[in-house]
Structure 1
Amino acid sequence: MIVKESRIKTRSGADALSRHVLHGAKNEAIRILAGSDWLMRDAMREARREGLTYGLRHIAFNPDETMTDDQLANFARRICREFHGNPEHMTLVIHQKDGSTHGHLILPEWQRNHILDSRFSWIRLEKLARLEEIRLGHALVAGRHDRSIAKALRQDGKVHEAELLAALASVQPADKPRAAYTSQAHRTAERQGLDLPELKQLVASLWSHSDELKSFRAALAEHNLTMREGDRKETRPGAHIIETSDGTLIGSFTRLTKVRMAEFRKLLAEEHSPEHEKPELDIRSTRVPVCMTSENDLTGILSAPTSPPARKREPKRISLPRRNKAIDALRRRQMEEVDRPAVMPPPPAETIVSADSQR
C-alpha cells in the first residue's frame, strides 16, 4: 500500500482539492463514505479564523491488492486515531479507476481544541500501511523507513511485525524507493493536461539511451523538454529540474532518472570541464608530421648553410649636454659675492645740546 500526504494551505482554499476529490473526471466511480464539500470549506474557515498556515490534510492511500470499502474506511479511522483526529470530522472518498479502488482522506488541521499532530507523519503513515498489509495478508511493499519502523514496533512489543519488516529491509536495495513527484504536482499536471507517469517513463528512457548530459539535453529538446538548474540554489546546490517548454515542472532529474546526487555532480563537472568543450580551430592540429632529411628535402631548408650568430651590440653611451663657460663664470662670481661679508658705515656720533643753546 502506498500512502501519500499533502497539507493544503489556508490561503489556497478548498476549491482545487474539492474538484479533484469529489468531481474527478478520470474516475469510473466516486463514492463519498463520510463528509462533504461543505465540511471541507468549513474546516478552511475555522483554520483561517484561528490563524493557521494549513487548513486541511489530504492523505491518499492506494492498496496494491483489492480492498473493500469497509476495509478502506477502517484504515482511514486508524489514521485518524494515529494523529489524534476526530473521525466524525473526516471526509472519506473512494475512487474507482481501471477496476481498482483507492481512498482519499481529508482531515481538518484544527480539531476544535488542538491542531492535528504532524510529528514524523511520513514514517507513521508507512508504519500504518505495513501493519495493514500484515493484518490483511497482503504482500509487503518496501518503504524508505522500514528499519526505523521495525525498531519502533519492537519497542511497542510487536515482535512478529518487527521481524517481518526487518527481513523486508534486509533484502531492500541500496537505492531506497522514493516518489518521483508529489501528489500536488500530479494534480497540477492533470489540470494542465499532462500525464506525469508517462513523462516520467519518457525521461527515464531518454536517459538510459544517453551516454552523457549533452546527448540527454538534445534528446529532451526533441520532445519539447528542457533541463535547468533549480530555483533553490542556496539550499540544494547542483539540483536540476526538468520542465516543459512552457515552464511546467515535471520533476527533479535525480528523482526521475534514479541517479544519485553525488554521481550527477560528477557528470556536471565533466560537462563543464575544458576537455569536453569544443576546441577552437588550431592550424597546428591540421599539419601532418613528415620525416624530412637532407636527401629528400625539396625546400632547401635543411641543406641551407647555417648563418653565424648575430653579434651582440654594446649598449650606447649616454652623452651629456655641453656646458656654457660664460654661464659657469657668472654663477661662480655670484657664489663669491654671497660668501663675501657686507661692510656697513658706522652710525653718527650723538651730541648733547642744552636748553639754553636751543633758545
Structure 2
Amino acid sequence: MIIGATRIKVASRNGPHALIRHVFHGTDNESIKIIQGGKYAVRAAHEDARAAGRTYSNRHFSVSPEESTTREQAHGVFASIAGEFGFNLADATIVEHHKPREGDQGYERHWHMIVPEIRRDGTTLDSRFMKPRQEKLGRLAEIRLGHPITQGKHDRAVLAAMEKENLPEAQAFAEAVRWREFGPGAGEPKAAYSANTHQILRRNGLKTPQVKAAITAAWQARSDENPLSFKGMLHACGIDLISGRRPGAWVAAVGGVEITAIHRLLRVKQVDVEAEMAKAQKRQAPAWTRQEGGYEALSPQGKERAEAAYVTFRQVYEKARGHEYPHGLHDYVQWCQKQEARKPYHERAARPETAKVPEAPAARPEPQAPKALPLPDDPAALRRIIGVPRWSERNRDPDAIAAAYQGQVNKAREKAEAQLERAEAAIERTAPSDKIADGKALGKLADIAAGLTIKLLNVVLRPLGIPITWEPSMGAARIIGQNPGNPSAHEAAHRDAEEIREKLVQMATPDAIRAKAAEVAAARQAEHDAWMDSTAPARMKLAEIEARLEAERIEAERRAKAEEARQAAALAAKERGAVEVDLPDFEPETDILRGLEI
C-alpha cells in the first residue's frame, strides 16, 4: 500500500484549482465518489491559510492499495494517518477514485484525502520526517490487512519506529526486512519512473502505465513466429531501446526521453534482456513473411500464424498508443513481407533450399529505408502520426539561443562576483592586524600635551635649523603589537578567491556564445528537417484530405445557396402568377363601353 503526501502552497500560481481539478474532475477515472467534505472545504482552508499568512494551505494524502481493500478498511487507514500527523479526521475531505490499472497492476480503487494545514486551535500540522512516517503507516496497513509487504526506501527507520512504539507488527516487519537484506531481493528499491519522466511524457501526450504495459506485452509476445523481434515490435509502436550507461543494460526511450531500464521495469535479470537482444540479431523471420502475394497467397498454416502475429502486435500497439490499431490484417501482412524483402541479402533468413547466391554482389542495389505502414484516411489518426515538432522556430533561431545562453552566463558571472566579494572580505577578516592598546584618558592628555610642546619647540628651533622630527600621536590609538589573525582560513580564502577569478576568466565570451548558439541551432534545424522529411507523406495526405473536405464544404454551401435561390425564384414566380389571376379582365367591358358610345 502506497501512502503519498504533498503540501499545497498558498503562493502557488494555480492555488487549489489544480488539486480540485485532479481530485474532483479527473478524466482518467471511470467514477469519482465524494465520501466526505467537498470542494468548498479545500477552498476555505486555502483562504484561511492566506489570511493567516501561512506558507501551506492543504495537505493532500493519497492511499493506493496493491490488493482489494474495502471502504471500511480504507477508513481505518485514514484514521491511522490522522492519528500519526495529529488532525481531526472529521475535518478531512475524502474522495474515492475508480480507475482500471494497466496490466492489472494494483487495486482498481484508490483514495484521496485533503486536510487543512491549520488545525482548529491555529497550530500547523506536523511535517517532520513525512516520508518515513508515511511508509510506516503503509507497512502497518499491509500487515494488518494481510497484503504483501512492499519494500521501501526507509525500511530501517520504519522498523526502528515500530520497535520504539512497541507495535505488535514490528516482529513480522523485522522478518521481512531481514529477508530482503540477505535474500534474492536485496538492495535499495528504485522507482521505475522518476517524477520528471512522468511530467515530460504527460506533456508529450504519453502515459507511463501505457509504456510499461506495452513493454510487458511485447516481452510476453516473444516468439519465433512473430515477424518482429522484441526491439522491432516496440520500435514500430514508438518505443525505442537504446544502450544504457552500464555495460549490457538496455533503456526504453520515447521521443528522445529515457524512461527506465528494461530489466528493472520487467523485473527480470539484466542478462536475460541482453540475451534476448543478442538473439534478435540471429533469429530467423517466419516463413510467411518470406513469401509474396499478401495474405491470400499464404497457406492455411501461414494464415493462422500471421493472424496470431497480427493480434499480438495490435495488442502491443494499442497498449502503447492508447487507441485502436488503424490497419487491418491484409495491410499488416503486406507490410511485414515488404520489410523482409528490403533486408540485405546477408540479413535475410531464407531457407537453405530457397536461398539464391547473387551473381554480382558488388552490383547489388543499396538497401532502401523501410517504409511505414499505409497511412490511414482518418485526419485525427494522421495528426497523431505527425505529432508536433520538437523545436519551435524560436528555439532554432541562433540569436534567441545566444541570448538565452548569454543570460545564463550573466547569472553565473553575477553569482561568481558575489562569491569573490565574500572571499575578499574573508581575506581581510582573517589577515594579521595591529594590536591597539586600550585608550586611557590620562595617557591621551599626556600625548596631546607632548604634541603641543613639540610643535611650539619646532616653531622656535626650525629657523635655527634644528627641527624635532618625532611627533607624538596627539591622542590617537597607540599600536603595541600585532594580531596573528587566522592563517589557515586566510590561505583558504585566498585559494577560493583565486579559483573564482580563474572561473571568471574562463567564462564564455560573446563570440564563443554566438558560435555555440550557431552550432546548437544547426543541430536543432537538422533534427527539425528530419522530422519534416519523416512526416512529409502524412502531412501531404492530411493537406489533401483537408483540401478535399474544404472543397466539399464550399461546394455544399454553393449548392445550398443555389437551391435557396431556386426556391426563392419559384416562390416569386408563383406569387406573380397569383396576382395575374386575381386581376379583372377589362377587354370585354371595354368592348361593351365602345358599343354604348356608338
Q: How does 1:213-224 map to 2 (within 5 A)?
A: 220=253, 223-224=254-255
- Pair 1:36–1:188, CA change in 2 (3 A): farther
**C-alpha distance in 2 between matches for 1:10 and 1:89:** 19
Q: CA deviation at 1:152?
A: 1.7
The 8 Å contact of residues 110 and 116 in structure 1, kept in 2 or not, is answered as: yes
Q: How does 1:275-286 map to 2 (within 5 A)?
A: none
**C-alpha distance in 1 between matches for 2:206 and 2:144:** 37
122-131 vs 177-186, which moves further: 177-186
1:166 counterpart (167, 174, 188): 174
Q: How does 1:36-185 map to 2 (within 5 A)?
A: 36-98=38-100, 100-112=108-120, 113-158=122-167, 160-172=168-180, 173-180=185-192
Letter of the 1:171 partner, please give it: W
- Pair 1:110–1:218, CA change in 2 (3 A): closer
Q: How does 1:296-315 map to 2 (within 5 A)?
A: none
The 8 Å contact of residues 6 and 183 in structure 1, kept in 2 or not, is answered as: no
**Structure 2 counterpart SS, 1:141:** coil
Q: How does 1:259-338 map to 2 (within 5 A)?
A: none
- In the alignment, which residue of structure 2 is the partner of 1:225? 256
- In the alignment, which residue of structure 1 is the partner of 2:207? 195
- In the alignment, which residue of structure 1 is the partner of 2:4? 4
Number of equivalences: 228
- In the alignment, which residue of structure 1 is the partner of 2:404? none
Letter of the 1:16 partner, please give it: A
209-218 vs 124-133, which moves further: 209-218
- In the alignment, which residue of structure 2 is the partner of 1:210? 243
- Pair 1:123–1:100, CA change in 2 (3 A): same
**C-alpha distance in 2 between matches for 1:36 and 1:188:** 31
**Structure 1 counterpart SS, 2:150:** coil
**C-alpha distance in 1 between matches for 2:211 and 2:82:** 34
Q: Note the alpha carbon deviations across 1:50-107, whole angstroms, 9 max, x for none.
A: 2222211111111111111122122112211210112121111111111721111111
The 8 Å contact of residues 139 and 149 in structure 2, kept in 1 or not, is answered as: yes
Q: CA deviation at 1:118?
A: 0.6
- In the alignment, which residue of structure 2 is the partner of 1:24? 26
Q: CA deviation at 1:18?
A: 0.5
Q: CA deviation at 1:218?
A: 11
**C-alpha distance in 1 between matches for 2:90 and 2:6:** 20
**Structure 1 counterpart SS, 2:98:** strand
Q: CA deviation at 1:147?
A: 1.8
The 8 Å contact of residues 3 and 62 in structure 1, kept in 2 or not, is answered as: yes
Query: What's the TM-score, normalizing by structure 1?
Result: 0.55
The 8 Å contact of residues 149 and 162 in structure 1, kept in 2 or not, is answered as: no
The 8 Å contact of residues 207 and 216 in structure 1, kept in 2 or not, is answered as: no
Specify every segment of 5 or more residues in structure 1 that has no aligned partner in the other structure, as ranges: 228-243, 248-359
CA RMSD of superposed structures (Å): 3.5
**Structure 2 counterpart SS, 1:46:** helix
- Pair 1:58–1:211, CA change in 2 (3 A): closer
**C-alpha distance in 1 between matches for 2:391 and 2:70:** 42
- Pair 1:186–1:44, CA change in 2 (3 A): farther
Bigger Cα Rg: 1
The 8 Å contact of residues 242 and 252 in structure 2, kept in 1 or not, is answered as: no
**Structure 2 counterpart SS, 1:171:** helix
The 8 Å contact of residues 3 and 129 in structure 1, kept in 2 or not, is answered as: yes
Letter of the 2:165 partner, please give it: D
Q: CA deviation at 1:183?
A: 6.7
**C-alpha distance in 1 between matches for 2:118 and 2:200:** 26
Q: Note the alpha carbon deviations across 1:18-40, whole angstroms, 9 max, x for none.
A: 01101111111111111100110
Q: CA deviation at 1:115?
A: 0.3
Letter of the 2:124 partner, please give it: I
Q: CA deviation at 1:212?
A: 4.7
Q: Which has the higher strand share?
A: 1
**Structure 2 counterpart SS, 1:64:** coil
**C-alpha distance in 2 between matches for 1:142 and 1:162:** 15
The 8 Å contact of residues 244 and 251 in structure 2, kept in 1 or not, is answered as: no
Q: Which has the higher helix share?
A: 2
**Structure 2 counterpart SS, 1:153:** helix
Q: Note the alpha carbon deviations across 1:182-208, whole angstroms, 9 max, x for none.
A: 779857865763313345788999897
Could you tell me the percent identity over the aligned residues?
Answer: 37
**Structure 1 counterpart SS, 2:8:** strand
Letter of the 1:137 partner, please give it: G
Q: CA deviation at 1:226?
A: 4.7
